[in-house]
Amino acid sequence: MTALVEQLKSGLDAPICLTWELTYACNLECVHCLSSSGRRDPRELTTGEAKAVLDELHDLQVFYINIGGGEPMIRRDFFELVEYSIAKGIGVKFSTNGAFIDGAKARRLAAMDYLDVQISLDGTDAVTNDAVRGNGSYATAIRAMDHLRAADFGPFKISVVVTRHNVDQLDEFKALADAYGAQLRITRLRPSGRGADSWHDLHPTNDQQRQIYEWLLAHGDHVLTGDSFFHLNALGDENLPGLNLCGAGRVVCLIDPIGDVYACPFVIHDEFKAGNIRDQGGFTQIWKSSNLFTELRQPQSAGACASCGSYDSCQGGCMAAKFFTGLPLDGPDPECVGGEGELALAGVAAGTTPRPMMDHSKPPPATPVSFRRK
Amino acid sequence: MRRCAGDTLYGMEQDNTLLDTTEAETHDDEIVEELLIEEISIDGMCGVY
Amino acid sequence: MIAVDAPSELLGRALTLHPQVALRPEPFGALAYHYGTRRLVFLKHPDVVRVVRALEHHDTVGDTFAACEIAPARHPAFLRALTSLSDSEMLRDRAG
């Protein structure tokens, strides 16, 4: 382990970037949504409050923000905030389902510099994708990609959450990205938000984990992973590129639509809440001095994993995955490739796992209706 | 030896992580080996997009 | 990008931080982020940060080393660092 990684683990004076969920409102209701989005929260930050956060991020010299939601383009001030951010020298990457990218918006985005776009897609055909993201969402994403290409946006990203049902489509995802001159990003499914309920059915099997690992080694040269698969490094001698570093509270964090600050987007729960930007001292105080982040920046105990030869590679996995499956943080990841996680899960009593504390899902319809968008 | 997949994305300093990263003692007539910079991929830390 | 035959050739060049690079202090040195290439580099020692900031104020890299009181024994390591930064477009030649 390099000295640099140790320095990163002990935290930086400011985030490198941070994820900012602008709204819990969403036109979709993906079954694995990490933020359980659907309905706007009435306590959402105002435009003025959001700009004040950007002012703070500017002073901290945060390099860029990763905007998400819900569906961030639903906010009426979306472009206003994006342009304000860029004008303050903070780059913007944003994640979208594409529903609000028409020709005009695509051209507007293409004209902006220091802006990256990421289209979410979870299947290379409508059947696979829409089973997770809802009826018509595949067509919506492709349409948005077509608009971006027509507007000469340049390389955008296609972001895929790898599930049991799309792991066989990795080659096709790569081909799709290549066809659009886009960059493929694949990320790990965590049992967060609505994912807490769908995880057991959706997360890759042990064989499929090996399939992902080997695919990345063979074909992953230009594929982004956000270092989200480092728990798979214990499968072999060759490590996937990346630092095996959980950046939560150390180099990144999350600001949610109502100003709550969490260690990362996958742990929207009081256990990992560092404060609220409306508190005295704002975001800066939280980043520099909150109890949670101070604690996360201490050396973490390997705990039950200390005697495992793979700990150097896998670092005990992901704390979000452990937390929401009811496992202790100083023990194996639920998807531990050595099988230690499965063993541990067997000991977790049904109904005792932590529940997501915020649920902005839309209520179910009183009578069954077909999926309709306004 | 096959290199780690994608290491060309991770900067020319990647190999140097194998070198001693602490500052060597300075002797007047000896060259000092220091690793003064290190490139980190923004895809290489979980949570950084 | 600067074509450099050998790191020592850099000594006579006039360099500067690329205008799209942000340099942000950290306890151990600094972070450099290039807004155009999206690349991130750690400057791991305060002395290399001083040198990088000082480059634009001196005629040559060699002059910068002298002004920053970098001992000759450390020059090869500093030249490797500056070469690396040039290759990743964090530094570029100064006009004039």
Task: For A298-337, write each residue's pLDDT tens digit.
Answer: 999 899 999 999 998 899 999 999 999 999 999 999 999 9
Percentages (nearest 5) of helix, strand, coil residues in chain C: 45, 25, 35
pLDDT of B2 > 50? The answer is: no
Give the pLDDT of residue A368. 61
Per-position DSSP letters for C31-42, written without gaps between them: EEEETTTTEEEE
Q: How far apart are CA A83 and CA A88, in angstroms?
A: 9
Beta-carbon contacts of residue A96 (< 8 Å; ≥ 6 apart): A71, A72, A73, A117, A118, A119, A120, A144
**B 13-32: CB under 8 A from A:** 17, 21-22
CB within 8 Å: B37 and C40: no
Q: What's the whole-number mean pLDDT along residues C52-64?
A: 97
Nearest to A54 by CA among A77, A24, A25: A77
Which of A56-70, A135-149, A233-247 shows the lowest mean pLDDT across its residues? A233-247
Q: What's the whole-number mean pLDDT along residues A245-255?
A: 97
CB within 8 Å: A4 and C42: yes
Q: Contact partners of C by the rule of 3+ C-beta pairs under 8 A?
A: A, B
Rg (CA), chain A: 20
**A147-182 CB burial, b ≥16 within 10 A, e <16:** bbbebebeebbbbbbbbebbbebbeebbebbeebeb
Does any CB of chain A come closer than 8 Å to the CB of residue B42? yes
What is the token pair recorded at A372?
């309709």
Question: Tens digit of pLDDT for each residue in A196-228?
Answer: 999 999 999 999 999 999 999 999 999 999 999
Return the amino acid letter for A71: E
Quick one: pLDDT band at residue A357, thresholds 50, 70, 90?
confident
Q: What's the whole-number mean pLDDT along residues C62-76?
A: 97
Give the pLDDT of residue A369. 60
Q: How far apart are CA A223 and CA A174, in angstroms?
A: 8
CB within 8 Å: B34 and C39: no
Q: What is the DSSP letter of B20?
A: -
Average pLDDT for chain B: 60
Contacts of A221 in chain B (CB under 8 A): 5-6, 8-9
Contacts of B5 in chain A (CB under 8 A): 216-218, 220-221, 238, 240-241
Give the pLDDT of residue A373. 61
Give the pLDDT of residue B7. 34
Q: How far apart are CA A331 and CA A319, in angstroms?
A: 10
Q: What's the whole-number mean pLDDT along residues B32-43?
A: 89
Contacts of A218 in chain B (CB under 8 A): 5
Does any CB of chain B come closer than 8 Å to the CB of residue C52? no
CB within 8 Å: B45 and A251: yes
In sign, the C-alpha dihedral spanning A286, A290, A295, A299 is positive
Cβ(A263)–Cβ(A275) below 8 Å: no
Give the pLDDT of residue C95. 76
Beta-carbon contacts of residue A373 (< 8 Å; ≥ 6 apart): A27, A99, A136
pLDDT of B1 > 90? The answer is: no
Cβ(B38)–Cβ(A3) below 8 Å: no
Q: Minimal Cα–Cα distance from C89 to chain B, Å? A: 12
Contacts of B17 in chain A (CB under 8 A): 2, 4
B24 to B17, B39, C13, C43: CA distances (angstroms) = 15, 21, 28, 17
Give the pLDDT of residue B17. 39
Cα dihedral C57→C69→C2→A222 (10° resolution) = -110
Which residue from B minimizes the CA distance to C79? B36
Q: Specify the pairing of strand C29-34 against strand C39-43.
A: antiparallel
Return the amino acid letter for A115: L
Q: How far apart are CA A96 and CA A115, in angstroms?
A: 13
Q: Minimal Cα–Cα distance from A236 to chain B, Å? A: 12
Give the pLDDT of residue A296. 97
Quick one: pLDDT band at residue B29, thresholds 50, 70, 90?
low
Contacts of C33 in chain A (CB under 8 A): 16, 63
Q: How far apart are CA C34 and CA C40, in angstroms?
A: 7
Does any CB of chain A come closer than 8 Å to the CB of residue B7? yes
Nearest to B43 by CA among B8, B10, B4: B10
Give the pLDDT of residue C49. 97
Listing from the earlier edge strand, what are the strands of the sheet with A64-68?
Answer: A183-188, A157-162, A115-120, A91-96, A64-68, A17-21, A254-255, A260-262, A273-276
Interface list for chain A against chain C, based on CB atoms closer than 8 Å? 3-4, 7, 12-14, 16, 61, 63, 89, 91, 114, 116
What predicted TM-score, i.e. pTM, was given to this entire model? 0.90
Contacts of A14 in chain C (CB under 8 A): 24
Q: How far apart are CA A10 and CA A298, in angstroms?
A: 6
Q: What's the whole-number mean pLDDT along residues A344-353?
A: 92
Cβ(A120)–Cβ(A159) below 8 Å: yes
What is the interface size between A and C, counted as CB pairs within 8 Å? 27
Quick one: pLDDT band at residue B35, thresholds 50, 70, 90?
confident
Percentages (nearest 5) of helix, strand, coil residues in chain B: 20, 10, 70
Q: Measure CB to CB from residue C77 to each of B27, B34, B41 and give the nearest one.
A: B34
Residue A134 phi/psi, 5° resolution?
105, 155
Q: Would residue A106 be called left, alpha or beta, if left means φ above 0 and alpha means ψ between -120 and 50 degrees?
A: alpha
Query: Interhelix angle for A47-60 vs A282-289, to 10°?
Result: 50
Cβ count near A329 (within 10 Å): 15
Give the pLDDT of residue A1. 34
CB within 8 Å: C84 and B35: no
Does any CB of chain A come closer than 8 Å to the CB of residue C31? yes
Which residue from B minimizes the CA distance to C74? B32
pLDDT of A185 > 90? The answer is: yes
Cα dihedral A276→A279→A285→A287 (10° resolution) = 0
Question: Who has greater pLDDT, B34 or A339?
Answer: A339
Q: How far apart are CA C10 and CA A371, in angstroms?
A: 64
Contacts of C48 in chain B (CB under 8 A): 36-37
Measured at the alpha carbon of residue C46, what is the angle toward residues C41 and C50, in degrees to the nearest 5? 90
Question: Tens digit of pLDDT for each residue in C16-44?
Answer: 999 999 999 998 899 999 999 999 999 99
Question: Tens digit of pLDDT for each residue in A125-173?
Answer: 999 999 999 999 999 999 999 999 999 999 999 999 999 999 999 999 9
